[in-house]
Structures are given as C-alpha cells and as structure tokens.
Structure 1
Amino acid sequence: MPMQAGRPKILGFISEQASAWLVALVVLSVGSALTVVVAWAAADLYQQQVHQRFQLLVNERFTRIQERFEDQEQRLGSLQRFFANSADVSRSEFDGFAQPLLLHARAYSWAPRVFREQRSQFEQQISRQRGEPFAIRELNALGELAPATERDEYVPVLYSQTQSLLGAPLGFDLLAQPLRRSALERAQQSGKPAVSQPMQLVGVEPAYAAGVLLVAPVSKAGDTEPYGFVMAVISMRQLVTDGLPKPNRDNLVMQIVDTSDSQQRELYASSNALGNSHLSSTRRLALGDHVYALSVRASQVFDMANHSSMNTVLAMGVLLSALLSALLYVLVSQRQRALKLVEQRTVQLRLREQELRGAHGQLRSVLNAATQVAIIATDLRGVINTFNAGAERMLGFKSEEVLGRLKLESLHLASELEARAVPLSAALGKRIPPSQAMLVESPDSQHEAREWTLVRKDGSRLTVNMLVTVLLDDYGLWVGHLAIYLDITAQKGAYEALAARDRLLKKLSSHVPGGIFQFTLEPQDNWRFIYASQGMRDIYEIELGVLQQDARTVFERIHPLDAERVRASIRLSALQLSHWREEYRVQLPQRGLRWIRGEATPEELPGGGTLWHGYVSDISDLKRVEEELRALSITDSLTGIYNRRYFQDRLKVEMLRLNRSAGTLSLIMLDIDHFKRINDQHGHAMGDRVLQELCKRIGQRLRRTDVFCRVGGEEFAVLCPGTDGAQAYSLATQLWQSLRNTSMEPVGIVTASFGVASWRADEDIDGLLLRADSAVYVAKQAGRDRVEACGSGQALMPVGAGLLAKKP
C-alpha cells in the first residue's frame, strides 16, 4: 500500500500545523503551572525562614533588655546593702560607691525619712554640711521647685549621683508626688524593691524624661520600719537603646508598656519605620514588682533585608517554558519534511522486503518467547494457524494439536459466546453467530481488551483479557485475525478480595459508635470528605451522598460560636501536621443541640493538601455528666451555696478584672457567734440546721451579683463586685439584722460577727482577705454580734431592743 495513502494526521484528527501550535501551547501551560508550584513552594520556604530569623532577633532583644532590668535590680540592691550595713554614709562615700553603678541608669539617689518635727533641724543640719541653703522642696503649680508644704512625713533627695547635664533635684520630696509616693509606700509595706508607674523624671533631659523610679527601703538590723530609701532613676530610652543598632539599621520596632498602668502609656517606642510584614511578638519583662509588655514588630530594614525571590522564579520559569514550547513547535512543524524523507526511503525499504520475509522465522521465535501472553492467529474461517509457547503454557495444548485442527471458538466457553452474540446482533442490526462473537467489536467499542473465559485442555477454566485485531496482507486485504490473551485470574481474585475487604470495612464501620471518615483539605481551600461511614449520617443528620459532595454542609451544622474555632484548628493541624482533636456543638434538625468530639491524624498528600483519618462521636451525655460534676465540685453539700474553692477562683477572676480596668470590689466575712456551744447543747444535727437556716436568710437578702460562699465550718463570705465600702457596709448591716431579728427554734437568736473590707488600688488578694478577716477578728474582740468595717473605725452592735449604736 503506498505511503501517501496511509499517512496519518498528528493526534488523528487535526492538521500538522495546528498540532504544532497545540503542542507548544500545552507545553507552555504545563511549564507555567510547574513554575507557579515551584514559586509557591519557594514563597512558603521564604516565609518560614523569615519567621525563624525574626524570632531569633526577638529572643536576642528580649534577653538583652531582661538582663538590663535584672542588672538594675542588682545594682540598686548593692546600694541598699551599702546603706544598711553602714552606720552613717557621707556624701563623698555615697559618690564613691554610686559612681561605678551608673550604667544604663540616669541617677542613683538616697532619701531619708524626715518627720514633721524633724524638718527644721534636718534642713539646718544639711545646710551646715553643704555650706549652702538646703530646703525640702516640691513642685508647685507652675512646675517649679518650691518649699514643701507642711506634712507629717517627708522623703527628700539628699544624695544623688546622676548622668544628667541638668544636675540633681536635691531636697525634692518624693512624697509630694502621687506616683512616687505610691512606689515608696509599696516598697515600705513589702520590704522589697518597688517600681513606680510611668512618669516624667525630674532633672532629666526631655529626650530621656520618660521613665520609672526603682525604689528599695533601707532598714537597720532589727528594725521593721525603713529609715530611708535608695532609688534608681531609670530612663527607658537610655536603658533600652544603649548598644542597639541605629534606627536606620535596626531590624525591629519595639514598644514597652506597663501592664499595670490603666492608661497603657508607652514607656518606650522605637523611632524607626514599621515594615509591611505582619510579624510580631509580645514578651513579658519583670522589674521590681511590675510587669511590662514588650511588643516587637519587623521594621522596614528587616523587610528590605529579607525580600522574596518569587518574582524572579516566576519570570525565569515562564521564560524557560516559552523557549521550550518554541523549540517543540519547530520540531513538530518539521514533520512534513520528515515524511517526504520517509517516502524517499520507501523504495529502499521495499528492496529489503525479501530480507524481512526471511525474518519471519525469527518473529515466530519472538512470539514463542512471550511465555506470559497467549498469541493466537486465525484465518478468515477462524482456524488457528499461529499458537505460541505462551498459549501452550496457558491452555495446556501443544501447538501441533491445535494448528490447522481447532478453531478459536473451541477455546472459549460456549455459553459466554452465545450471551455475547445477542447484544452484538441488536447493536449492529444483523445476526452475529456465536463463533464470531469474540472477533466482532460493538459500535461503541474503543478497541479495548475484553474479559473472556477460556477452557483448558483438562477442562478447567481461566479468566483472560482478550485484545483482537484484523490481519492484513501487503496489499491491505483482510486475511485473518490476531488475538492476544492475558491471564487475569489472579488479578480478578485480588479485585474480589478488595471488594470483600470493602464490604467488611463497611460492616465494621456501621457497628462502631460514632462515624469514621477521611477528609481532605486541598491547596485551593477545597474541603471534601472522600470517605464517610454510616455513623457520620447519624452524627450530623446528613445523607452520605450529600456529605461527600460538599463538606460545607457539615460546617453549617456546627454551632456559630464554635465554627470558626473548628476551622482554625483544622488549618493549624494541616500546617503543623499535628493530631487534630476538638469538642464542639452542632445544631441538628431533629435532635437539637448536641456535643461532638472529633479526632484525626493528618498526612501530607504528594500533590499538595492534607488528608485526615479520624472519627467523630456524640459526647452529649458525657458533657452533661461533666457539668453535674463541676456543679458538685463548687457547691457546699450541706448548705447548697458555693464552697471555698469556688470563692477562691471567683476572687481571682474579680481581681484580674480590677487590674485590667477601674472598678470597685468589697468583701463581707462573717463568723457565727458561739457555734460550738450550739453543737454541744443541741447536737451536730441541729448545728447543721442552723447553718442551713442562716444561709437561707442571708441568701434571700443578697443581690444577684453577690457571691455567697461557705469558707469554713461556721465561716462565710460574700463577694460584692461593683460595690464600694459604704454600700458593702449597708448590705452587711441588713444581713446582721436579718439574723438577730428572728430566732431559730429551739436554739433561739443566732448572731454573727461581720467584717467588711473594700478593695484598694495596688492591693492583692491576700491583702483584701487579711483586712476582711481582721475586721471579723475586731468584731469578735469587741463582744461579737456586730459589723466592723476595716479602716472605717466604726461598728454596729445591738443596744436595748434592737437599737443601733455607733462604736467610738
């Protein structure tokens, strides 16, 4: 047959020129896609490296600043010990000791305590020592130093060693300014160093005026009260910036804020420009009795030093893809010239046709070498004329028993041929005999291998895949058929085993409590369930078909308050490849609100994305039991009110609220008078009834915001958020009257001693509890059956027939 008559088109249905363009476009598209993937991976790696560099810089900066804070405390501690261990310290001795300490601090000072009656003698004595007038001073309304007003006590700056060019404000009374006075009082009460709120420092250049005062009390051995204070005047700008890079070279932008300051004022803020990245970190710094928040973000210098190379990767990848597509276009377009060259060589190939016929024997040897595949050729009548060694091995026949004697149909199962012939005849519109059923293709066939059953020589059967094609001679005439058989018996058994395993898995999953699933998160943020057991339908009340088509139906069931948390935890698990575990609520159409627990183990997919294997279960009953147990753990079993544990937890929460924002808080504590006498005279059962009746009466008069707790055997506490001292005192009076106005049969009148304390600024939990307990103690010592307010100096007690009288 001439070569020109059988020349095919590229891709079978379009012209060669169009095929060249198509190949070039496909290569360009694939290359661009690969470039995007590589760029995305490079960008992800870049983001990880930038984050690691930023964290290293933040750790180094935090360590440096924290070491400087600790160094300031150590230096002030050495100055404190110097005064405590010295009988008297002169100015020259102070200067000699304090001068070497001036590192990262503006000044170190010594300020003794001077009382009202000592002021005149103290000023005269210091004036004689200094040889110039000396007076205790304070800032007036114009911001100038003027003689201090009369007070019971003064703490003037006597010695000062400073780096400031403006000198030291000697004689300045630290008690004249609220922030400094608060720091001194806290240092005096605790006996430990205390730090002031952020302030503008006196006698310091304006650029370094923002800072704090670190104060330490100085006491002689055996004394409980300090006779003076040593101070470190700390400028935050000097402390933080010494030794750091210049602003135009600094990679970090810092901000330091006092967490205890209600106004959240800045103690320090970097002057360099903030970068565009979202990298940030917050650390906690401790100085004295204060905690500061160090906020760090990346600067423009950091962004410039860590720029991404993704644009370069994209440009180079697209350029290489374009060059490769152009090269392939040139190669494919040369096919026409190659075909012409083939035509020229056809004549030479025909001359060698005879030589190829001689190679027919070699071809037969090759066929016989294919021992794993049966190759059988027939003539137009179906008589077998080629039977290779693979066919002998597969079917058990010798080639001499088959060649020219058997037809191909004799090797097939007859019932299968008849069953195949019926649909073929209907599809082709003519009768197809069973003997030809294996050789005829249906109209919708794409020359694919078809499954058949063959019969061996011993009568056994095997399943094969058969591919059949026509045989043409040199002139294109149909001379027979060629059938290739592949034994798939083992493969089919494997498929059946897999099907049986799938059925077993489905049966097992249907009996497991809860639901088993496989869930994927693809790079395009596509959420999908690739497998879900029957239990998933019961958990979410969603049909499995709908569940596997769109995973969003599950998230629509999740409670709105939990949905975003669940999504975030899934993304975090995908990012870190960490075990996923969540408990969340779902709103179901039939069963309403239910609690669900889910657990899954992730793995990264080769093509991108994450696959989870996990399960979900309904834990609503468990949650109900947990709530009941929690209620039992915070409730007193005898009286039914809150117990000591809940009181302590609630008090901590209220104190944290007060530290974050301004507010009021009061505490009422009461102790039943002579409760042991009630138990001894009437028995413990009656004592329990008294406790229950007392709780009932007090509970009826409390507000909804008050927290009533039993903190001991006969000790009770009422926590009053948003209540000042006067309101708490009034409430305690009402509770006191409710007990003593009505008797408890057969015990009679049961009274209690009440103590009231309201929260003060800068007071901790122990301080508030101690003051309230002290008020109860005072009430007990004063004769019981009364109300004492800590610090108020007044009490209520019964006089005559229920009359109230003020205690002097």
Structure 2
Amino acid sequence: MSLHAVRPKILGFINEQASAWLVALAVFLAGVALTVIAAWAASDLYQQQVRQRFQLLVNERYSRLQERFEDQEQRLGSLRRFFVNSHLVSHTEFDGFAQPLLLRTRAYAWAPRIFRDQRKAFEQQATVQRGFPFAIRELNETGELVPATERDEYVPVLYSQTQSLLGSPLGFDLLAQPLRRSTLERAQKTGKMAVSQPMQLVGVEPAYAMGVLLVAPVSHAATAQTPQSEPYGYVMAVISMRQLVADGLPKPDRDNLVVQIVDTSDTQQRVLYESSNALARSSLEATRRLTLGDHVYALTLRPSQVFESVNHSSVIGILSMGSLLSLLLSALLYVLVSQRQRALKLVEQRTGQLRQREQELRSAHGQLRSVLNAATQVAIIATDLRGVINTFNAGAEQMLGFEADQAVGHLTLESLHLAPELEARAAQLSQALGKPIAPSQAMLVEGGDPVHEAREWTLVRKDGSQLTVNMLATTLLDDHGLWIGHLAICLDVTEQKRAYEALAARDRLLKKLSAHVPGGIFQFTLEPQDNWRFIYASDGIRDIYELEPGLLQLDAKQVFERIHPQDVERVRASIRLSALRLSHWREEYRVQLPQRGLRWVRGEATPEELPGGGTLWHGYVSDISDLKRVEEELRALSITDSLTGIHNRRYFQDRLRTEMIRVKRTSGALAVIMFDIDHFKRINDQHGHAVGDGVLQEVCRRIGQRLRRTDVFCRLGGEEFMVLCPNTDGAQARSLALELWQALRSAPMERVGTVTASFGVASWRVDEGEDSLLLRADSGVYAAKQAGRDRVQEERLPA
C-alpha cells in the first residue's frame, strides 16, 4: 500500500493534493464573508444606537421647549392676576411687577379698552401721567406710527416693559391690525389666553422680529352675582420665537439638532423659527406638538452635521480589520498547507532531512503563538496536571501585570486567585458533594464534574490590586483522551460590575430623593378600556391620600374615592382632556381624608402617548392647604377695616356695584344711609387719637347691634360711615336711620360724653347710577350738618 493511501486529509476534509493557493483562497473568501456579516451586524447596531441617541436628544430638547412655552403662560397669568386683584395699577407698579418676568420675553404690555367717547380724556390723562405727549396711534402704509382714525373702540398700549433697544410702541392700537384684532377677539370670546398668527413684531430688532403675541383678557374679579364680566383690558406678552427657543441652547456649530417650529393653524405654514446650523444627510426626523395659549405648534427635529460627525460608524474599520485578519489567516493556512505538503515530500524523498522539518514545525508553532497573543482583551492560561502555568498569553500579561517568563513554570492558577474566595468556594463544594474539595480544585469542579460554564472570580494582579473576571475553566485532553492539564479563559468584567453597581446606586438615590420631595411623585396611565392605573407612586403619596403606594398600583380608583364629591368629576374630565390633547395636566382640588379631614391638593403631570394606545403621565401632587388658608386670610384682610373690624370702602364699592346690577335687572328696592360723627376732630384734639379710635370702635359696636343681617356696614374713611340696605325703600331706610341715630345718642361714652352723628338717607331711583345715589346721600349728611347736626335728613322726593 502506498504512503498516499493512508495519509490523513488536511483539516479532515481537504485533500493533500489540493493546491495551497486554493486552500488559502477558500479560507480568505470564508473570512471575508464572515467579516461582511459582522460588519452588517455592526452597521445595524450602529443605526439602532444612532436612533436611540437621536431620540434622547429629541426628548430633552422637546421637554426644554415645552417648559419654556408653559413658563410664558404662567408668567402672563401671574401678570393678569396682578391686574385682577388690584383696583388700580400705576405705571411704576406695572414696571416693578413686570420687569422680573422678562425672561426670554421681548416685552410685557398693558392695553385698556377705550371707546370713542373716552379717547380724548384718556389721551389727556395718559399725557399727564407719562409726562410727555401721548396719543392712540396706528401704522400707516409706509409702516410709520400715526394718530389712529376714529373708531368705536381702541385697545392702545398704555404700559410696556421691554428688553428691546428700540423702545416700546406706546399708544399703538392693537385693533388697527387684523392679526392682533383677531387675537384680542378670541381672547375676549373665550376669556382665556390667545396666541396670534406669526407676525412681524413692532419695536423689536429685525433679527428677533418674527414672533407671536400672547394675550390674556383682564376682567373684574368674579362674584356670586357677576360670575363673568367683559374684559376692561388685556395684558400681553410679546414673544420673539428666536429668543424663546435659541436662548441658552448650544451654539449652531455645537448643536446636534436642527430645530424648526411651524404654527399648525397658519394657512401659509410659515416657519416661526429654524436653526441656522447645517442639516445632516440622514433620514432621522421627529415631530412633536408644542402648545401655547390656544395654538398648537409643530416642532420638527432633525440631526445636524455636528450629530453626524460625532456618531461615525465603525463598519469600515471592521471591514478593514476583518479583511486583514482573513488575509493573515489565509496566509497562515497557505504556509501551513504548503509546509506540510513540502514536508511530506521531503519525508518521502529524504528522511535525513528530519531536523529541517522540525525547524519548520517550530516556525508554525510560533505563528500559532502570535495568533494566540493577538487576543489582548482575553487572558488565556493553560496549566499542567499540577496546576503550574505553561501558557500565558499577551492578554493575560496585560490583564494581570505578570510577564510570560515570570508566570510560565513559576506560578500556579491557584496563586492568581484570592485565597479567601477559593477557601469559601471549597467549603461550599465540600458540603454539597459530601467529600473534601481542596481550594486548588475549587475553581475547576462544579458538582463533581469538570467546569464548562463561566463563573465570576477575583484575581490578584502583580501589584496586589484585585480584578474581577468571568472565567471559563475546562480540562485539556491529549489525542488518546488522557487528562493532561487545564485551560482557563478569563474576561475582565470590572467595568461591567461597576456599571451594575452604578445602576443600583442610582435606584437607591431615586428612592431617597423621592422620599424627601414634598408631596408625591407618580406615573399614571389611562388605557383604551378606561382602565386607570398607577405605574409608580412614591412614599409621599401616602401623606397626600392616606393610602399605601402599593395599593394604588393595584387599584387607582381608591384615589378618586378620596377626592371631594364636588371636585371628582372635574378632575376626571381634566384628565381625559389632557389625554385627548396631550396637554399638560394641572388641577387644584379637595380631598376628604379619614384622619386629617378636608385638605387642598395641587397636581401637575406631563402626558405622553403610549405605543399600544393609552396615555402615560409623569407628575407630582402636593398639599396646598396652608396656601389656600393664607389666600382666604388675605382676602378677608383686603375687605376689612383694620381699626373697627367692619367692611372697608373697597368692599362697599363692590357690593354697591353688585346691588345696582341686581335692582336694574329686577326693578327692586335699594337704599343707603350715610352718617358722619359730629365734631370728631374736637374729640381727637381734646382727648387724643387713642380715645378717638375707641369712639370709632364703640360707634361701630352700637350701630352694628341695630342692623339687620342683610345690611352692609362699612367705614368709608375717617369718621364717615355707610350702611347699604338691599331690598329697602326710602321709608324703611329712614326708619332704620332714626333707630341708628337714637342708639348712638342714647347713652354717653366714657371720657367723651354723648356722641352724635349727622345722617343722610337716599333710595335708588330708576335709571340712576352709583355716583348719583351716593351724592344724594352725601348731600343729606351735608344738609343735616348745616341744620345743626345730630339729626336724620329726610330724602327729598324728585320734583
């Protein structure tokens, strides 16, 4: 039998007669194919990572812009409440309140409603107050401000606080321009904030001229008799979209995103704002909705060239490296195959050249050693049966700090491990297997069998530092199946372990922070089947609703059982509206708690649409009971005279106005009684102001005891008082005035003796105004004093 008939095939399937070039080419093509597959997988992973990074940037930018839009509404809302809660706002008070609000806003302005017959008086009064000529103006065809033409109504800018270097267009009539007029009409009709279509702002630098006008109507405070009244003016925020969006964001040459904002209600689809940075060649794009007032804006976000430059793909590197490795491997196989073929020929031809063949085998072993050392990120360590290291690759050198010469033949695999860890593992295995296991074998056996699964161990470097690795240990067998040693492959997992520890620390920090936040943090979902559920609820929820957070995650309906019956439907409706519009949810409502009773709660949350349908809110709730109590106390102080404890002039004017509206509507009866203490200045001069204050308090006590529950007793100022008598005609009012007059003079007061007063009575006449009614009552007091004081002056009937 020839030698060729018994020779084994190369790699088990390649015939020795095959050309070495053919083998190398086949291996190279296989390597290139594997490299292409790896590159394709890396490209797909890269695209996923790019999309994830883009989404993170989009969500952060959208959240920031939405907060800025909401902040503009809140600031203008505070300015409107300032006007609603103030009887009269001067220019100085307006500047003092509006100036701190100028954050990313070009200007704030106040514009009252002025009718045709009020124009001249208004311009004169504004000229006196401002100290320079003031006129209601409008833009002519050339864009210059000129005096406005005659119209039935004007809304001129009276006060303005601005950041613009060009000043404020005071006197500019907002009704003279169609876009501004339509915005005011919508605000007047709805009673809420309205936003204009995109416009060129007046009195603003050209670079910031494109923007919108945010308008809020200002009406008198609602009462039980007048729940809603026509606005008597408007507060406005002049918003430059460039200043609102670009302020505080990265510069164009460093911004990862290209931002574009378009008003969806604008028929021309004009661009309100667009970044100046260059757009990347990418199909990535995200669209979000921003709300401001009654408008919805389309926010389009696309990656910039900066984003593209910092997120480059590694596909080319993988292809290059894979192709190079394939070429090296094919070259290596070519060398091996060709060397083998030549060696066999030499064996057949010249057995005397054995030494040369051994040298060639050593060269092949060196090449294999080079391939082994190329794995620098993995430590490959082989030992003999005694555990002494006989293979220590470059990855092991880099990972553990030992040179190969220092480890091979000198160290054991056991010496590289942390001794207490091996002893603990050996004790655990000994107990589990029922036989003693030496620490040197603890890393090599698992349940009595050789280890074939990776396990985490702690290795000791040359410098004494510790390293956490994932080690796979297995046995080495020779060609006859005999056990000749062990092989350990170690992968450094220190950074991975640190990442896990960082995530755990972050979770602990989140729980600790939520425990110290006043109120409760929650995630709440409304699913398509009208299923209400809390995904997450912090421990602060327990103090708000007196319910355990774990129970709320099982059944959210328990929260609505705590809400006051008069508020629960309003809260449910606001949640559904927020889900429908994906708008920010904010409500203040009452809750009935088993232990603390009635409390006020404020809740805020931001919604997002879930991929499978439904809505998810992220928000918080807080207890505002103390704030509500302070608001009530402040309201009581604002309508009460601090000295006497009765109502003040402001409350009297509000009540008189309400009663006048009622009698005009129902043709009922109304009367007022005005009286002034006689010689009160003499009391102050003779006895001092402290005694005078006591006289005022005693007068109020005596008068208050004689009044009916429906009467309104007020101090107009000094020693002048007023009694408002609803549903009372002139005769009844005179009878009551006589009773009050008699109660006041019936008994002397301590230190000052008898105190008297002069009374005037007036009853309402058809088509009579407030000023006329009060003037007749005041005339009665004057007539009583002229007649000798200490009397009630009868009302004179009209001629």
Q: Decide which structure has the larger Cα Rg and report it.
A: 1
- Using structure 2 for the length normalisation, give the TM-score: 0.46
- Using structure 1 for the length normalisation, give the TM-score: 0.45
